[in-house]
Amino acid sequence: MPSNILLITADDMGGDTPGCFGGPAEVTPALDRLAAEGMTFGRAHVAIAVCQPSRSAIMTGRWPHRNGAQGFEPIADGVPVLTRLLREAGYMSGILGKVEHLQPVEAFGWDFTRGMRELGMGRDPRAYGEAARRFMTEAAEHGRPWFLMANAHDPHRPYSGSRDELERFPAEERATYPAPSKVFGPADDVGAVPGFLPELPEVAREYREYLSSSRRCDDVAAEVLRALEESGTAGDTLVVFLSDNGIAVPFAKANCYLQSSRTPLIVRWPGVTRPGTREDTAFVSMLDLFPTFCAAAGLAEPAGLDGQGMLPLLRGEPQDGRDAVFTVFHETAAKGRYEMRSRQDARFGYIWNEWSDGARAYRAENMFGRTWPAMLADPRLAPRTRFYLHRAPEELYDLHADPHSLTDLSGDPGHREDLAAARRDLLAWMTETGDPLLGTYRAFLTERAPG
């Protein structure tokens, strides 16, 4: 019998935010329970660390340069999508929130949709629960297996209790959703801010606002999971939770750093995963979900997928080809083009910044809010902020010694061989996937070859 599939997504939640991934206590009780009932992945990464292209990659199983959605744009004509494949197999498909972030909407053939405003600006847990309950009831009435993508709009900016929230959401919109079930204030011990950010008062304040929004995301997940339990189909349902990218702060979202693409992946699949298991060695890409969902539905994978099914890992078995992960970046929501490519393994993170020329300055949504202005105002951070604006053509980080990617080793003679190995692997990946910047990267490497 094919499994139902419930995919719950967070918007801009860091990979280490949930408690089950080492985050502060009390932020994600529902997700922590889900993790205890299923399996967590410590080295899971999205293909691209920005919303619409990340989601398009998941739903097509293809790299952005192969599905057409490199930025906030529709996928190309003729690219197979998961929901169409499932519909042909008799599945009913539904989406809650972020409907317009999979384009063109009609290509996905949704049977059931609820938009942001129908869900309290994507922030009302009760509305999500009611919509999920309605969808599951309709699927049962029609005797169809189902796929539901429940997309929380938290913890995307504006954060709960922030000045941005007051300015961007009128009072009538704020009235449509509740406060988080727990709001984190100065008296709450949430530990240090993420290690790639400086310990400044305004950064810590914004981090607490972000954690409050993350708690409301958890509230959404709790209500959707409650609807699943009430439907009586939890035992026949594959549940997956992930975030579409990292936190919307500097050096995270809309980049290619470890904290940009790492996602808090949780999978609960009755009869397949064992409760409370962890996979912290194998690298997985969210491109791997498409073939995994095909396996859950008993379907053959369509040709042209870039992902690798995760079934062996989910069963606790080893799987080849899991020693590294590649990620990309193309453009921001404002259409700023900043081409980046990355390869990460257990030791090193390597990034090629095609756009970095020493003059051009980076600008993205992750620089809104309190954190970036606070960094700019502190003269001690001038080298760090200057680097963020302009980068270097290449970056190399020793993730054992420097897990937050603070010290670029690309110019260190002691790591010349490590840099060369990363370059070779990235070049091979770009060749294999038909990356449109392959020629540019080859020319870049030729320019830097020893005389």
Compute CA distances 197 → 319, 363, 373, 405, 408, whole Å.
35, 17, 13, 11, 16
Delimit the CATH 3.40.720.10 region(s) of the chain: 4-313
Q: Each residue of 25-44: pLDDT tens digit?
A: 999 999 999 999 999 999 99
Report whether 353 contacts 392 (CB < 8 A): yes
The CATH class of 325-447 is: alpha beta
Q: Each residue of 306-322: pLDDT tens digit?
A: 999 999 999 999 999 99
Instruction: With cut-offs at 50, 70 and 90, classify the pLDDT of residue 2.
Output: confident
Three-state DSSP class for residue 379: helix
The CATH class of 4-313 is: alpha beta
Report whether 191 contacts 174 (CB < 8 A): no
Token reading at 222: 């709790």
DSSP letters for 112-135: EEE-GGGGTTTT-HHHHHHHHHHH
Q: Report the distance separating Cα 184 and Cα 182, nearest Å.
A: 6
Report whether 266 contacts 34 (CB < 8 A): yes
Delimit the CATH 3.30.1120.10 region(s) of the chain: 325-447
The vertex-434 CA angle with 430 and 439, nearest 5°, equals 65
Mean pLDDT, the chain, rounded, equals 97
Query: Which residues, including other chains, have CB under 8 Å from residue 94's CB and lie 6 or more apart?
Result: 110, 111, 112, 113, 135, 146, 147, 148, 149
Q: Minimal CA–CA distance to 228: which of 3, 28, 420, 410?
A: 3
Report whether 177 contacts 209 (CB < 8 A): no
Report which DSSP code applies to 301.
P
Q: What is the dihedral of CA 10, 16, 20, 23, to 10 degrees?
A: -110
Strands 348-353 and 44-45: unpaired
Q: What is the pTM of this model?
A: 0.98
Secondary element (H or E) of residue 4: strand 4-10
Q: Give pLDDT, residue 450.
A: 77
**Above 90 in pLDDT, residue 449?**
no
Token reading at 392: 């270097």
Rg (CA), the chain: 21
Q: Minimal CA–CA distance to 408: which of 395, 423, 418, 420?
A: 395
Alpha-helix residue ranges (DSSP H) falling in 201-271: 201-231, 258-261
**Within a 13 Å sphere around the CA of 370, how many CA atoms are in the beta-carbon half?**
21
Q: Give pLDDT, residue 1.
A: 60
Q: Each residue of 146-167: pLDDT tens digit?
A: 999 999 999 999 999 999 999 9
Query: Which residues, including other chains, have CB under 8 Å from residue 402's CB and lie 6 or more apart?
Result: none
Q: Each residue of 349-396: pLDDT tens digit?
A: 999 999 999 999 999 999 999 999 999 999 999 999 999 999 999 999
Q: Give pLDDT, residue 249.
A: 98
Instruction: With cut-offs at 50, 70 and 90, classify the pLDDT of residue 451.
Output: low
* Bridge partner residues of 9 (DSSP): 151, 242
**Above 70 in pLDDT, residue 242?**
yes
